[in-house]
Amino acid sequence: MSDRRSLLVLNGPNLNLLGTRKPETYGRTTLADVEALAREAAAAHEMDVAFLQSNHEGELLDAIHAARGVHAGIVINPGAYSHTSIALPDALEAVQPLPVVEVHISNVHRREAFRHHSYVSAQADAVIIGAGVHGYALAVEHLAHLLADVS
Ligand code: DHK
Q: Where are the domains of the chain?
A: 6-150
Site residues for ligand 1, CB cut-off 6 Å: 14, 77, 79-80, 82, 104-106, 108, 115
- Residue range 53-105, pLDDT digits in tens: 999 999 999 999 999 999 999 999 999 999 999 999 999 999 999 999 999 99
Omega within 30 of 0 (cis) for the link into 78: no
| Nearest residue (CA) to ligand 1, atom 3 | 79
6-150 maps to which CATH number? 3.40.50.9100
pLDDT digits (tens, 9 = 90+) for 119-148: 999 999 999 999 999 999 999 999 999 999
Test site for ligand 1: of 21, 107, 115, 128, most ligand atoms within 8 A of the Cβ:
115
Helix locations, 95-151, DSSP H: 134-147
Distance of CA 49 to the CA centre of its chain: 11
Q: Which one, of 79, 105, 104, 78, lies nearest residue 89 by Cα?
A: 78
Report how far ligand 1's centroid is from the alpha carbon of 42 (Å).
23
| 3-class SS of residue 35 | helix
DSSP string, 55-75: S-HHHHHHHHHHHTTT-SEEE
pLDDT in tens, 1-18: 456 799 999 999 999 999
| Distance of CA 40 from the midpoint of ligand 1 (Å) | 23
CB 78 within 8 A of CB 104: no
CA 145 distance to own-chain centroid: 16
- Candidates 82, 107, 109, 111: which one to mutate for ligand 1, based on the most atoms within 8 Å of Cβ? 82
Query: Distance, CA 13 to ligand 1 centroid (Å)?
Result: 9
